């Protein structure tokens, strides 16, 4: 059988369960994913030489990391050529500002013009843009940022975030689509705090000062990202889930849920429907924690499938879906590609589920049938639909992209010495 015949046969098998594979393909293609720029260079950025800090870590020494914006652009374009989807966004961090020769400004002085090259790159590749302030990997972030007891330091980070808000507005204006401006800070303590409240009060005040800056809500959505703990900050995180959930609700901004930022036995997929009862929109960082917030490359596993199922059932247009993983132990274009393709796969898989039937069976409390049907679905020829989706999107099929990546590694990446 050739690809078309395999697809037609697979389509019939899904049809037998009442699922329209054509519609599933079209709906998946319309879901917007934001690809994080930071997988390509191990979260190094362009504005400083120092090590990554803030309780997050990249591990591994695979060669050929992108060392400047030209190489990063090259790798992003290669990666995009492997990923299906009608429209994608690129998720930037403030530390990826591009300075002219000899120029440098600190984070509180960043301006839209420092992201002009990213805008040109986005336009060339038909990409939307999202943005993050970088409240780590900086000498003034050694202790605390927006929750700092040192007023000068706290004001520095407030100025940085206000600068980022203005840059986000510029990115939205230039690309003509909304920009998500996400705030994550590493602030926390290694050991048991004497005072849990004051840092949180200061964080609340800092965020209020940032939000007091006028901005166009049609162009920019602001989100806040919570966390359980970071390395060296195991006992206390100022920006906890409860803090940000309440903060976001009371100020009319978005909560960002990072799938790596909860206790390992918590089901993150379960949180989405609850959040969306109280918010029109929410944001995600899709990651893969292994025992801790390790930011492993996202795989096509049960956790991801369940997350995608919830996205699809709660209307994908209500989500800002961003990816957040970084692995320095493997080829970084392959890391990017696997994670992004796996997210797409999970969304297609979710679109191909007989969810209306499942729902009716649940209402009838026919759990015997649900279990059996769910298992039946797992052995359907999903790969044939996935490869057809890739073919229609002009990207390589599942067994085709890896040789192309190895060729790129040989021709381009391996020359970076
Ligand atoms: C850290 C957060 C944060 C970062 C990126 C680089 O735990 O997940 O989102 O990973 O901003
Ligand atoms: Zn994150």
Cα angle value 274/280/282 (rounded, 5°): 70
Is the minimum distance from the CB of 136 to ligand 1 under 6 angstroms? no
Catalytic residue among 293, 310, 353, 388: 293
Is 324 labeled as catalytic in the residue annotation?
A: yes
- Residue having the nearest C-alpha atom to atom 7 of ligand 1: 56
Q: Are 62 and 336 in contact (CB under 8 A)?
A: no
Q: Are 318 and 282 in contact (CB under 8 A)?
A: yes
Is 160 labeled as catalytic in the residue annotation?
A: no
Catalytic residue among 42, 130, 187, 225: 225
- CA–CA distance, 43 with 327 (Å, rounded to integer): 10
CB-facing half-sphere around the CA of 347: CA atoms within 13 A: 28
Cα angle value 168/74/395 (rounded, 5°): 95
CB-facing half-sphere around the CA of 208: CA atoms within 13 A: 8
- In the numeric block, the tokens 């999903």 are attached to 382
- CA–CA distance, 5 with 387 (Å, rounded to integer): 12
Catalytic residue among 78, 241, 261, 271: 261
Is 205 labeled as catalytic in the residue annotation?
A: no
Residues bordering ligand 2, an ion, CB closer than 5 Å: 258, 285, 324
Tens digit of each residue's pLDDT (9 = 90 or more) over 353-395: 999 999 999 999 999 999 999 999 999 999 999 999 999 999 9
Catalytic residue among 89, 138, 227, 296: 227
Q: In this predicted structure, what is the pLDDT of residue 51?
A: 87
Is the minimum distance from the CB of 43 to ligand 1 under 6 angstroms? yes
Is the minimum distance from the CB of 65 to ligand 1 under 6 angstroms? no
pTM greater than the 0.85 cutoff: yes
Q: Kindly give the number of the ligand 1 atom that is closest to the alpha carbon of 132.
A: 11
Q: Are 398 and 386 in contact (CB under 8 A)?
A: yes
- CA–CA distance, 250 with 67 (Å, rounded to integer): 42
Cα angle value 96/100/103 (rounded, 5°): 90
Tens digit of each residue's pLDDT (9 = 90 or more) over 191-228: 999 999 999 999 999 999 999 999 999 999 999 999 99
CA trace torsion 177, 315, 252, 37 (10° rounding):
-50
Cα angle value 152/156/162 (rounded, 5°): 140
| Segment holding 132, helix H or strand E | strand 127-132
Dihedral of alpha carbons 166, 168, 172, 178, sign: negative
Q: Are 253 and 223 in contact (CB under 8 A)?
A: yes
Q: How far is the centre of ligand 2, averaged over its atoms, from the C-alpha of 58 (Å)?
A: 13
Is the minimum distance from the CB of 187 to ligand 1 under 6 angstroms? no
Q: In this predicted structure, what is the pLDDT of residue 322?
A: 98
Is the minimum distance from the CB of 258 to ligand 1 under 6 angstroms? yes
pLDDT less than 50: residues of the chain: none
Cα angle value 165/200/276 (rounded, 5°): 65
Q: How far is the centre of ligand 2, averaged over its atoms, from the C-alpha of 344 (Å)?
A: 19
Is 258 labeled as catalytic in the residue annotation?
A: yes
Is 227 labeled as catalytic in the residue annotation?
A: yes
Q: How far is the centre of ligand 1, averaged over its atoms, from the C-alpha of 397 (Å)?
A: 31
- CA–CA distance, 189 with 237 (Å, rounded to integer): 7
Residues counted in the chain: 417
Is the minimum distance from the CB of 11 to ligand 1 under 6 angstroms? no
Catalytic residue among 36, 89, 241, 285: 285
Is the minimum distance from the CB of 285 to ligand 1 under 6 angstroms? yes
- Residue 253 makes CB contacts below 8 A (sequence gap 6+) with 211, 221, 222, 223, 224, 247
């Amino acid at each position: 059988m050739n690809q078309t015949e395999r697809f037609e046969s697979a389509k019939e098998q899904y049809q037998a369960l009442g699922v329209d594979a054509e519609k599933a393909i079209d709906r998946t293609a319309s879901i917007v994913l934001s690809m994080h720029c930071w997988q390509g260079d191990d979260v190094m950025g362009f504005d400083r030489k120092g090590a990554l800090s803030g309780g997050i870590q990249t591990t591994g020494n695979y060669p050929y990391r992108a060392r400047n914006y030209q190489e990063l652009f090259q790798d992003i374009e290669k990666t995009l050529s492997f990923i299906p989807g009608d429209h994608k966004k690129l998720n930037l961090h403030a530390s990826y500002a591009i300075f002219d020769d000899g120029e440098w400004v600190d984070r509180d002085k960043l301006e839209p013009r420092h992201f002009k090259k990213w805008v040109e790159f986005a336009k060339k590749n038909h990409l939307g843009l999202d943005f993050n302030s970088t409240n780590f990997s900086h000498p003034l972030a050694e202790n605390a940022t927006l929750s700092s007891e040192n007023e000068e330091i706290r004001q520095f980070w407030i100025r940085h975030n206000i600068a980022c808000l203005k840059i986000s507005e510029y990115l939205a204006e230039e690309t003509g689509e909304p920009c998500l401006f996400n705030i994550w800070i590493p602030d926390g303590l290694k050991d048991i705090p004497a005072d849990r409240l004051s840092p949180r009060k200061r964080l609340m005040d800092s965020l209020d000062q940032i939000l007091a800056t006028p901005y166009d809500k049609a162009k920019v959505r602001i989100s806040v990202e919570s966390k359980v703990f970071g390395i060296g900050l195991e006992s206390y995180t100022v920006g906890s889930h409860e803090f940000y959930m309440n903060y976001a609700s009371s100020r009319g901004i978005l909560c960002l849920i990072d799938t790596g930022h909860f206790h390992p036995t918590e089901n993150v997929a379960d949180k989405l429907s609850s959040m969306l009862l109280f918010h029109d929109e929410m944001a995600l960082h899709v990651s893969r924690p292994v025992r801790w917030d390790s930011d492993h490359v996202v795989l096509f596993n049960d956790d991801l499938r369940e997350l995608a199922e919830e996205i699809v059932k709660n209307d994908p247009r209500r989500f800002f879906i961003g990816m957040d993983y970084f692995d320095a132990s493997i080829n970084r274009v392959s890391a990017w590609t696997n994670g992004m393709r796996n997210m797409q796969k999970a969304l297609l898989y979710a679109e191909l589920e007989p969810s209306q039937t499942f729902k009716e069976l649940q209402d009838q409390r026919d759990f015997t049938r649900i279990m059996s049907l769910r298992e039946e679905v797992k052995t359907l020829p999903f790969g044939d639909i996935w490869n057809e989706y890739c073919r229609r999107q002009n990207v390589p099929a599942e067994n085709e992209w890896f040789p192309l990546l190895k060729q790129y590694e040989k021709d381009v990446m391996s020359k970076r010495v």
